[in-house]
Amino acid sequence: MVKHLLTLKDYSGDWINNVIAKAIELKSNSAKYGDILKNKTLIMLFEKASTRTRCSFEAGMTQLGGHAIFLDWETTQLKKASLKDEIRCIEKYSDVIMARVFKHETLMEMAKYMEKPLINALSDLYHPCQTVSDLMTIKEKKGKLNGLKLAYVGDGNNVCNSLIVGCKKVGMKIAVATPKGYEPKEKPDLLTQDPKEAVKDADIVYTDTWVSMGQEDEAEKRKKIFYPYQINKELMKLAKKDALFMHCLPAYRGCEVTDDVIDSKQSVVFEQAENRMHAQKAVILKLLGKI
């Protein structure tokens, strides 16, 4: 049966650890895998904007000797035609497909018609590729995952949901602080409205935008509600001394994080962005049965 990656819930901690180990190897020894996907094509479907996801998947396919095709809803028939018909055609040209969509149900609908692996490149509910890359970054920096504590402070969104699933699978503790009414769908080890409680003794402090794509109309209201959840120097002091600061990017400086935190030595945001490429290469190889 074809394997899709729509959420990490469908995979074990061993599977995630294995992908991370492979991603670390791919990063240090990319020449060895330079033609493993020769003549293979990834089709990338974007219903909303992206910098990192688009570039990292496309560059990743180049590094593996394959090819990637970018499609969006505006310049294809996807906007107006039957999704089912379009997907059944797109699948004929590709070996693996990834899609960034507004509604998670769109991915579930696509998966019904696909006999090739489908990868979630972000939906309203989950961002699994981000989490795998983030766990890879933590593993590189801390040498382990099991037993570490990650504190997520901010909106209980797609990034937060995938972190909860991923951290729990690999034996990490995850504490989440959100304002009332903005809790994640998934259940963390600790859910609180108090950022200080979440961050206490954390090995990693993580945040994301307060206004995700599609929520632009709520921007002003959200900024007021979320302001007490900003990651700043004072809050970082409550975490462990050697705590990492993480953010999936794009970051809105002065909102969810201050300059002195995102630009500090503790910040690993650009390593996270780089690791998207290596982690996704490992995910593609795994789903195609190449590793």
Question: Which residues are known to be catalytic?
Answer: 100, 127, 130, 208, 248, 276
Is 88 labeled as ligand-binding? no
Q: Does 158 bind ligand NVA (CB under 6 A)?
A: yes
**DSSP conformation letters of 110-124:** HHHT-SS-EEES--S
Burial environment of residue 93 by CB neighbours within 10 A (0 to 12, 13 to 18, 19 or more): exposed
Least separation in angstroms between CB 269 and ligand CP:
10
Site residues for ligand NVA, 190-209, by CB under 6 A, read 208-209
Between residues 52 and 149, which has the closer beta carbon with respect to ligand CP?
Answer: 52
| Beta carbons of 232 and 226 less than 8 angstroms apart | no
Distance CA 193, CA 173 (A): 17
Residue 158 assigned ligand-binding role: yes
Residues near ligand CP, by CB under 6 A? 50-53, 122, 130, 248-250
222 annotated as belonging to a binding site for a ligand: no
Which of ligand NVA, ligand CP, none interacts with 51 (beta carbon under 5 to 8 A by kind)? ligand CP
Under rule CB under 6 A, residue 119 binds ligand NVA: no
Which residue is listed with tokens 């979630």?
120
Flag whether 203 is marked binding: no
Nearest approach in angstroms of CB 284 to ligand CP is 16
Residue 272 lies near ligand NVA (rule: CB under 6 A):
no
Among 45, 99, 159, 231, binds ligand NVA (CB under 6 A): 159
User: 3-class SS at 136?
Assistant: helix
The rounded distance, in Å, linking the Cα atoms of 24 and 207 is: 24
Identify which of 91, 83, 99 has the alpha carbon closest to the alpha carbon of residue 116: 91
- Near ligand NVA by CB under 6 A, which window of 64-72, 156-164, 172-180, 237-245? 156-164
Is residue 164 a contact residue for ligand NVA (CB under 6 A)? Answer: no
Binding to ligand NVA by residue 213, rule CB under 6 A?
A: yes
The whole-angstrom separation of Cα 211 and Cα 240 is 28
Q: What are the residue ranges of helices labelled H in the chain?
A: 13-28, 52-63, 83-93, 104-112, 128-142, 158-169, 195-199, 219-226, 233-236, 259-262, 269-287
- DSSP for residue 253: B
Binding site residues, ligand NVA, CB under 6 A: 122, 157-159, 208-209, 212-213, 248
Which residues sit in the known binding site? 50-53, 77, 100, 127-130, 158, 208, 212-213, 248-249, 276
Annotated binding residues for L-ornithine: 158, 208, 212-213
